[in-house]
Amino acid sequence: MCFCQSSKSEFRGVKVAQNDIVCYKALDKKFSFFGQKFKALWNPRFIYKKGVAAPIIHLVPDLHTEDISKGYHSHKQTESCRGWIWNGCDDRCIVECKIPKGTLYHENEYGCYVSSTIIIIKEV
């Protein structure tokens, strides 16, 4: 997945979350003896644990396009996640997340975020 940088100046550049930012993400559900966890769609080896901050990733824009491929991608609204869920994908779900206060992030005019960390709150 790749975060496309905005063309509109009010969205450009890295920001620091002044408060927790509520956002949404499509993930695969994974159940284990230790409880529910979630797998990333693009990197199924990466497991998100509910309520635990994901490891920090440095947000580095591509030199030519300024797009950002590494980071935690999320959306402002659940509707933006629905395209990742279709019939036959019973293990896929939408989760509510937060970008914690103090986290570095980018946003664009399409309602997308990419952040250096994220916390899964609950399944929607």
What are the extents of the domains in the chain?
9-123
Give the up-direction half-sphere exposure of residue 45: CA atoms within 13 A in the CB hemisphere: 0
Please write the tens of the pLDDT for every residue from 20-38.
999 999 898 876 666 678 9
Token readout for 15 is: 């920001």
Distance CA 9, CA 123 (A): 34
The Cα-based distances of 73 to 1, 35, 67 in angstroms read 8, 24, 12
Q: Model's pTM, two decimal places?
A: 0.85
Which portions of the chain are predicted below pLDDT 70?
1-2, 4-11, 31-35, 86-89
The pLDDT of residue 15 is: 92
**Residue pointed to by tokens 């293990």:** 91
How many other C-beta atoms can be found within 10 angstroms of the C-beta atom of residue 48?
Answer: 22
